Amino acid sequence: MSGQKLITERKRTHRCGTLRAEHIGQEVVVMGWVQTYRDLGGAVFIDLRDRTGLVQVVFDAGVDEAIHAAADKVRNEWVIGVVGKVRSRGTNVNSKMPTGEIEILGAEIEIFNKAETPPFAIDDDVDTAEEKRLSHRYLDLRRPKIQQNLMLRSRLNHVVRRTLHELDFLELETPFMVKYTPGGARNFLVPSRLNPGNFYALAESPQLYKQLFMMAGFDRYFQITKCFRDEDLRQDRQPEFTQIDLEMSFADMDDVHQVMEKVIGNMFQEGIGVSLPAKFPKMSYDEAMRRFGSDKPDLRFGLEHVVLTEVVKAHPNGGLPLFEQAVAQGGMVKAMVVPAAHQLSRTEVDKLEPEAKGVGALGLGRAKIAEGGSWTQSPFAKTVSDGLRQAINEATGAKDGDIVLFQFGPAKLVHTVMNHLRLLLGKKLNLIPANQWAILWVVEFPLFEHDEKTNTYAAAHHPFTSPRPEDVDRLTTDPGACRAKAYDLVLNGNEIAGGSVRIHDPNVQQKVFQALGISPEEQRAKFGFLLDALAYGAPPHAGIAGGMDRISMLLTGATSLRDVIPFPKTQRGQDLMTSAPTPVSDRQLEELFIKSTPPKA
RNA sequence: GGGGUCGUAGUUCAGUUGGUUAGAAUGCCGGCCUGUCACGCCGGAGGUCGCGAGUUCGAGUCUCGUCGGCCCCGCCA
């Protein structure tokens, strides 16, 4: 009853979850793991599991005493093979199982392997601590839901490859071990034994290499590839992650958008049967910040922001000195209306204040609109002038019973806090509809970000991003006002792709470097090879990189990246199964000419 | 670097004001049972209360530290 005969001679004929009424009468060979066994004395029922699902096998003592005795010993998670005839369950159909119309009458059983009792049940319903799941990831990966996630991801990979091949893209590879360049995300470093004291960096992205492919004439490149960033982890951030990376020559922004719309559209259609619009709507960065305080707005619900800066300016001495002060200092004032219908209580509003403070706010201004448009439950109620109050009511559209939340101060902080509050209330008030997909391009990003402390500019995307043609002259006069030919793809409030048109004109590139304060020596040291390549005949080119993990997460309905990555790291970047990273021996370090000086415990 | 939260049986959790032998469900082991599919019934085993100090006559419970999981801010060109 045990051995390997089913493997060497009989071979598997079907996968468990695929059997249906049409197979009735056939003798089948199935193999898998024991999900559950139900021993009724004279009959043993076993639900056998493989990646396609479950099928019930019955071992009947009345039919075959010996096989029943063998099946009687089987336990959960044992790996077995079964030969038997598919038969109807008659009146005992289980409508909850896709295979519930049929069962296999076991005629032969082979036990490939016994199993220890698993530390947690292999079941989607079991709410096991993440720590336990990750330390026994090979068991966690047996759970049907995560298997379905990874099977969907496999299909998505296939769809991406097929779509891009159809569009004449070449799948080309780039190195993981690359030159270290400062700026941007922290790099993981790899010591070079052959070059003592020198290090490679693990690639943050294939960015420079894919541009070099364009300069080499490959015209259209793509790759589904790992990227590495040594930054802190989040629910939607892992230190190694997968990008759908592509680049195309003789292309402008719209060409990249069309390709990506096709790729994402096919992923939705073939992955989960959802049709997205052929073209995705566009929104400018400025509009996104103004209306939502975020460059990745979730358009599935309202609670839009209203900028009141101009309203405050138009009502000098309006009785809200804090608002006026913020405006006078170059800041902004924003409001958000929570309609009366949501019945947000005073206590609930009070609870928002610590939330706002948690993301940097000094406080949370609020007012409840009473009959006739007056304000109550508000620190501003007594001082605000009738004129300013009415103007704010009008600008925000706030009506009787509505609650208005305010923030004022530096624009960046106001946006951050109001965005946080909007997302928080969206969840709290159940405003986010299920099964809805809000996708859009966010375009016209600033080319540079200004650093207040050092009064310098940094590349908002990366230093090879092309400014809009009409902004090229401003590179030297007013860098802060330059807009980039850069774009992000946003789905339900998640950034799922980002890219840009690249600079192919060495003169423009020089101006950008100047604006960034990167000296010619520094340019050579960091990007010499790319500048050389630009000088040898670079085609106009543009590209984008999509976050495969995040896209998979959204399409599977998972709430964490860890549910679509087979072997993820914890928040501290550890692999609980292998316990990586670990110390290494002094001898290994010596060989690499490295000294390690971890802080003492 | 900072904030929040959690850690008790294999698992998920409960555990009162600090007070007898730390409980439940499920899983596991044994027995019975031929139509179960959350099978049922009977019986049994199973605990460094994350770890270390401290307070106390007495700590799962209070204090401090530490380790780890998760969420967030900073960070992620």
**pLDDT tens per residue across span A539-568:** 999 999 999 999 999 999 998 999 999 999
Q: What share of chain A is helix, strand, coil (3-state, %, to 5)?
A: 35, 25, 40
Q: How many residues does chain A have?
A: 601
Q: Which nucleotides along chain B are within 7 A of a protein C-beta?
A: 1, 3, 10-13, 26-29, 32-40, 66-77
Which nucleotide is at minimal CA–C1' distance from A131? B69
Distance of C1' in B45 from CA in A85, Å? 40
Q: Which pLDDT score is estimated for A489?
A: 96
Specify the domain boundaries for CATH 2.40.50.140 within chain A. Answer: 5-113
Task: Give pTM, 2 decimals.
Answer: 0.92
Which nucleotide is at minimal CA–C1' distance from A495? B76
Question: Which residue's alpha carbon is at the shortest distance from the C1' of B13?
Answer: A127
| A39 CB burial (10 A radius; 0-12, 13-18, 19+) | middle
Distance of C1' in B26 from CA in A133, Å? 18
CB of A460 nearer than 7 A to strand B: yes
Distance of C1' in B13 from CA in A129, Å? 12
CB A295 within 8 A of CB A287: no
Which nucleotide is at minimal CA–C1' distance from A134? B69
Give strand ranges (E) for A77-151: 79-88, 102-113
Residues of chain A scoring pLDDT < 50: 1, 601
Specify the domain boundaries for CATH 3.30.1360.30 within chain A. Answer: 301-432
CB of A119 nearer than 7 A to strand B: yes
Distance of C1' in B38 from CA in A58, Å? 19
Is the N-terminal amide bond of A581 cis, ω within 30° of 0?
Answer: yes
CATH architecture of A5-113: Beta Barrel (2.40)
Beta bridge partners of A241: A227
CB A58 within 8 A of CB A103: yes
Cβ < 7 Å from strand B, A residues 130-169: 130-132, 134
| Rounded CA separation A426/A420 (Å) | 10
Distance of C1' in B11 from CA in A32, Å? 23
Distance of C1' in B22 from CA in A127, Å? 24
Give which of A517, A440, A173 is closest to A281, Cα–Cα: A440
In degrees rounded to 5, what are phi and psi of residue A82?
-135, 135
Distance of C1' in B44 from CA in A105, Å? 34
CB of A562 nearer than 7 A to strand B: yes
Q: Which pLDDT score is estimated for A601?
A: 47
Distance of C1' in B73 from CA in A97, Å? 46
CB of A121 nearer than 7 A to strand B: yes
Give which of A350, A322, A323, A318 is closest to A334, Cα–Cα: A323
Q: Which CATH superfamily is domain A301-432 in?
A: GAD-like domain (3.30.1360.30)
Neighbours of A84 (CB within 10 A): 21
Which nucleotide is at minimal CA–C1' distance from A105? B35
* Token couple for A189: 């470093």
A307: amino acid identity, one letter: V
Q: What is the CA radius of gyration of chain A?
A: 30
| Rounded CA separation A410/A3 (Å) | 73
Distance of C1' in B34 from CA in A46, Å? 14
Cβ < 7 Å from strand B, A residues 29-68: 36, 38-43, 45, 47, 56, 58, 60-63
Contacts of A580 (CB under 8 A, 6+ apart): A574
Cβ < 7 Å from strand B, A residues 75-104: 75-76, 89, 92-94, 96-97, 100, 103
Cβ < 7 Å from strand B, A residues 197-256: 204-205, 207, 229, 231-237
Distance of C1' in B54 from CA in A596, Å? 35
Which nucleotide is at minimal CA–C1' distance from A561? B70
Question: Which residue's alpha carbon is at the shortest distance from the C1' of B34?
Answer: A42
CB of A358 nearer than 7 A to strand B: yes
